[in-house]
Structure 1
């Protein structure tokens, strides 16, 4: 599994990036948010990826944030939603708006996305609502205290997924009144034990 790529941006199209990593160029399909977030051609770029495997094709999908990647993986798990439709959803709606639309059962907003009809939007809501209510994607960091936001941001920048980060934060926050640095140290120790 290819979890991410870091290299030089060779080209940017309307739906994909070409990233050169050690002399090998990878075409990485991405939502508009990621396409606009990367730098200029010739600059260093880093994306989190999902490798989609079919019997006749291996396709890389890239994302600027771990949250986008996790949401993409949830979306393609919905019956009738393929990678193209999932990218369309993430291109039209940012992750917060998409999660809010599913939680509010806003079929009208979801059907604004090309390729998403009323039946598909209803299926999306039905299959994702329960997962989003309990999963880390539904819990944006802004609802947490200041030091918790800092710890989640630090863990995310180190490449940990939001699920791993939230579990480590819970473990580190078990003892009250610790300074932020000590909570971060305990979170990292928890993650080291997990592997």
Structure 2
């Protein structure tokens, strides 16, 4: 099991980083909103190795708590690595914990690939597990669906677009594919441009 990688960023794109570790390039899938080091800079990722019959994929996170939440998400029936990563990417680790604790089906259905029944199953199967993975006070204080802390540009953009009256699905569609290193202001501007067309 590969649990941690420390190396130099060789390539960086939305949702993926290639990390050069002692001359070996590891392709690691990451949340698109994650704040990562720039190209040529050193980066440490806490990873989960997902092994399937036809592939071995690494998923990386900047902290062990996010990686552990991702791993726990995989224990939910019907949730694979793509949906687990999308849930953390869409809501943030704290937002995901808060949605589960508050039984917020609406927030969970904002995750691409998760319907109402899937959201209810996630709440049922994760409720007893998420409390041990993070600070419940922080999770409870985070407004549901707000995502990670306010310093996360994607979460700020989600909040702003939601306040303008756009639905969660519209917001996610507008933010999908936008640069992972953009500021909240740029994300809002670009998303509004896309929503206007």
Regarding TM over 0.5, the answer is: yes
Q: Is the 8 A contact 1:8 1:44 kept in 2?
A: yes
- Return structure 1 stretches of 4+ with deviation > 2 angstroms: 136-143
Name the counterpart of 2:134: 137
Alpha-carbon distance change, 136 to 86 in structure 1, aligned in 2, over 3 angstroms: closer
User: How high is the TM-score relative to the length of structure 2?
Assistant: 0.67
**CA distance in 2 between partners of 1:85 and 1:115 (Å):** 7
SS at match of 2:134: helix
SS at match of 1:116: coil
Q: Using the TM superposition, give the Cα deviation of residue 140 of structure 1 relative to its aligned residue in structure 2, in angstroms.
A: 5.7
Which ranges of structure 2 fall in alignment gaps of 5 or more residues? 141-197
Q: Cα deviations across residues 33-73 of structure 1 (Å, max 9, x unaligned)?
A: 33xx1121111111000011112211100001111101000
Name the counterpart of 2:123: 125
Alpha-carbon distance change, 140 to 73 in structure 1, aligned in 2, over 3 angstroms: farther
Q: Cα deviations across residues 82-111 of structure 1 (Å, max 9, x unaligned)?
A: 100011111111111111100111001110
Counterparts of residues 148-167 of structure 1 (less than 5 Å) = none
Q: 1:81 aligns with which of 79, 82, 105?
A: 79
Q: Using the TM superposition, give the Cα deviation of residue 18 of structure 1 relative to its aligned residue in structure 2, in angstroms.
A: 0.3
**CA distance in 2 between partners of 1:85 and 1:142 (Å):** 20
Q: Using the TM superposition, give the Cα deviation of residue 138 of structure 1 relative to its aligned residue in structure 2, in angstroms.
A: 5.0
Higher relative contact order (CA 8 A, sep 6+): 2
Q: Is the 8 A contact 1:9 1:19 kept in 2?
A: yes
Name the counterpart of 2:54: 56
**CA distance in 2 between partners of 1:68 and 1:140 (Å):** 16
SS at match of 2:33: helix
Larger radius of gyration: 1
Which ranges of structure 1 fall in alignment gaps of 5 or more residues? 144-195
**CA distance in 1 between partners of 2:135 and 2:51 (Å):** 27
* Root mean square deviation of aligned Cα: 1.8
Name the counterpart of 1:3: 3
Q: Is the 8 A contact 1:132 1:138 kept in 2?
A: no
Alpha-carbon distance change, 64 to 33 in structure 1, aligned in 2, over 3 angstroms: farther
Q: Is the 8 A contact 1:9 1:18 kept in 2?
A: yes
SS at match of 2:82: helix
Structure showing the higher helix proportion among its residues: 1
